Chains A and B, each alone.
Chain A
Amino acid sequence: MNVFRLAGDVSHLVAIIILLLKIWRSKSCAGISGKSQVLFALVFTTRYLDLFTVFISVYNTVMKVVFLALSYATVYLIYMRFRNSYNSENDTFRVEFLLVPVIGLSFLENYAFTPLEILWTFSIFLEAVAIMPQLFMITKTGEAESITTHYLFFLGLYRALYIANWVWRYHTESFYDLIAIVSGVVQTIFFCDFFYLYFTRVLRGRGKMTLP
């Protein structure tokens, strides 16, 4: 464990909690892409299948349980509890355009052709594109509430910090995980456009982020 990875995990946890609290307190999921949240729950489910078979550390196990619980709670709030506030008419990204290539690639490019490895690889590739429906929804509505942009900021920051963690681990342990690194770089690049808008608009105290 290093400070970059710890900061990354904390940033990830903060992002998930920001979103969950926003939906719970406003009793509404307007402007939130349910599809992205389902994809994130799928990412955690396929990545943490070793939760009961491999024990790494208390921290590792606790964080996996927390991420799984919070992501499913978020999906529950969107599609069950506050489903009447869900903007399905704006959440129209075709997720099959994400799932098909990701499934194909995880069969082609993986460390071992075993169910657990292929599912882990699937979760890594899927995570890189899981935010697409949410970013698409924002471009479609042309705006995002500031709390949603803070959620996206911490979500984008988490994988950027993981990239620093991978550089650090390569430098100190000569460890590198190419699938995770390539996918993590792609994932962070997808956030760059949002980061630009976030720093130039939201942090100027503009409240809502309205797209040009």
Chain B
Amino acid sequence: DSSVNHKDEL
């Protein structure tokens, strides 16, 4: 789910 991805952005 998208909540996992955004952690790779500062």
Contacts and interface: CB of A to CB of B under 8 A. Distances in A.
Nearest to B3: A111
Looking at chain B's contact residues, the main secondary structure is: helix
Residues of A in contact with B, size category:
20 to 34
Interface in B1-10: 1-3, 5-10
Interface of B: 1-3, 5-10
Interface in A1-24: 5, 9, 12
Contacts of A143: none
A12 B10 contact: yes
A151 interface: no
B9 A111 contact: no
A176 B3 contact: no
A5 B5 CA distance: 14
Contacts of B7: 50, 54, 56, 120
